Amino acid sequence: MDHLPSPLASDAKSPLDGAILKKQFPIFANDAAKNPTKPLVYLDSGASTQKPATVIAAIRDFYENYYANIHRGVYRFSQRASDAVEQSRVAVQKLINAPSADNIVFTSGTTEGLNLLAATLPYSPLLKKGDRVVISELEHHANIVPWQMMRDRHRIDLAVAPIDRNPDSDNYGGIDRDALAKLLQKPTRLLAITHSANATGASVPVAEIIAAAHRHGILVAIDGAQAVAHQRVDVQALDCDFYVFSGHKIYGPTGVGVLYGRGEYLAALPPYQTGGDMIEVVSFEKTSFQPPPQRFEAGTPDIAAIIGIKAAIEFLQAVGLARIAAHEHGLVAYALAELAAIPEITIMPAGRKRDGVVSFTLGKIHPHDLGTILDDDNIAIRAGHHCAQPLLRCLGVAATARASFGVYNEFSDIDRLCASLRRAQAMWG
């Protein structure tokens, strides 16, 4: 693919060149200046991605050149900042192919998007006492705990669709579609499910599941935290009712996230938080509210982060989501092959299709110790329960080590990971 302009040109093994892409992320050069013999290997993009220079520059430009609060001032800077926020909304709309920018609510992240839904749906005509919400065993705590709170407060039932626990099944660790199908009927009214499991990388066939749920009149909310930076997400093609994700996992800043909602469903939800910016008219007797999305955006948001997410989206689009997906699947395939050659490694199952995550244990070495040894080699992985305690319990472990990939990863990063794991093994005898 040598027609592609540098710095996004390809190499022989992959549609992208992680080494070239790394150059767009100042953290790698800054770290290499301090650690020339062991440059940073960053394998924790599932927790948060590093930031390209363009995202950092967009945030800096806002603070240095037109900083002001939005929607309140008639002066130039305030209008420019307000325009920038609305341009970011349009960028998000285009990224996920939402019908309108009005379908895009800015939140502080995936967690807030899910809390917003769980807190407001029971006060809307969309969910009533006696209905059932279904989640799955693959979920991050952010897609479990808000629904438990809702269940306890509103007498709405909560059920959990299991994963396939049969080690001999080719879907081991994936969502159990037959068991889920049994839950997709009355009184289920909402399915809230991940697009991709952060703890194992299990990819959920959400398009088919949404179609099945809709055949039974069930609404579907997708936790896209682990999907949007790794594959092309089209909310209209998926036909989902709600979709949530975080800016910091798509090469954007912390402090911003997105809740996409179908127009009529957002309109049916009451406000989540109240205060400035979300009202039409306030008197001491009564307040009327803005339509969505402003209805859900009370108070001053993280303006810099919202501006930064547009730069992140432009970065994703310049690299190309199809190429990112192919690159990361190549990395995962290589990692699986290389890791499997290490004695006593157990790779957590992820069903039939795995996104850019490999979770594993190594003999009796605690994942936290592994993480510390790898850190000595300047390799950043995540160790622990990955905010998915129930899923790890289903898989019979309390903690794992997790390598998760991004655009800047190279095959040599995986070689470094494996060498460091072998060193850990030698140390722990």
**Of 81 and 350, CB closest to ligand PLP:** 350
CB of 312 to ligand PLP, least distance (A): 14
Question: Min. distance of Cβ 283 from ligand PLP in angstroms?
Answer: 36
CB of 108 to ligand PLP, least distance (A): 7
Of 24 and 194, nearer to ligand PLP (C-beta) is 194
- List the end-to-end C-alpha distance of the chain, in Å, as a whole number: 46
**In 77-105, which positions are buried (b, 16+ CB within 10 angstroms) versus exposed (e)?**
ebebbbebbeebbebbbebbebeebbbbb
Q: Distances in Å between the alpha carbon of 289 and those of 99, 103, 108, 239? A: 23, 17, 21, 28
Q: How far is the CB of 247 from ligand PLP (least distance, A)?
A: 8
Please report the DSSP string for 268-307 in residue order. Answer: HSPPSS-STTSEEEE-SS-EEEPPTTGGG--S---HHHHH
Q: Which two tokens stand for residue 212?
A: 């099945």
Q: Which amino acid is at 426?
A: A
- In contact, 173 and 159? CB cutoff 8 Å: no
The CA distance from 422 to 139, in Å, is: 31
Q: Under a CB-based contact definition with an 8 Å cutoff, are residues 32 and 39 in contact?
A: yes
Q: How far is the CB of 256 from ligand PLP (least distance, A)?
A: 10
**Which residues contact ligand PLP by CB under 6 A?**
47, 109-111, 140, 142-143, 194, 198, 223, 225-226, 246
- Smaller CB separation from ligand PLP, 58 or 228: 228
One-letter identity of residue 246: S
**CB of 226 or CB of 409, closer to ligand PLP:** 226
Q: Which is nearer to ligand PLP, 128 or 141 (CB)?
A: 141
CB of 233 to ligand PLP, least distance (A): 13
Q: Report, in Å, the least distance between residue 332 CB and ligand PLP.
A: 16
Q: What is the DSSP annotation of 360-378?
A: EEETTB-HHHHHHHHHHTT
DSSP 103-151: GEEEESSHHHHHHHHHHHGGGSTT--TT-EEEEETT--GGGTHHHHHHH
Q: Closest separation between CB of residue 199 and ligand PLP, Å?
A: 8
Determine the length of the chain. 429
Which C-beta is closer to ligand PLP: that of 47 or that of 365?
A: 47
Confirm whether 387 is a catalytic residue. Answer: yes
Between 295 and 382, CB nearer to ligand PLP: 382
SS3 label, residue 423: helix
Distances from the Cα of 298 to the Cαs of 72, 126, 276, in angstroms?
13, 22, 6
Nearer to ligand PLP, 230 or 416 (CB): 230
Quote the tokens at residue 377: 């080699």
Considering the candidates 240, 387, 394, 418, report the single residue annotated as catalytic: 387
Long-range contacts of 408-411 (CB under 8 A, 24+ apart): 408/18, 408/21, 408/22, 408/24, 408/25, 408/28, 408/42, 408/50, 409/18, 409/42, 409/43, 409/45, 409/328, 409/331, 410/17, 410/18, 410/19, 410/22, 411/13, 411/14, 411/18, 411/331, 411/334
Q: Which residues are catalytic?
A: 387
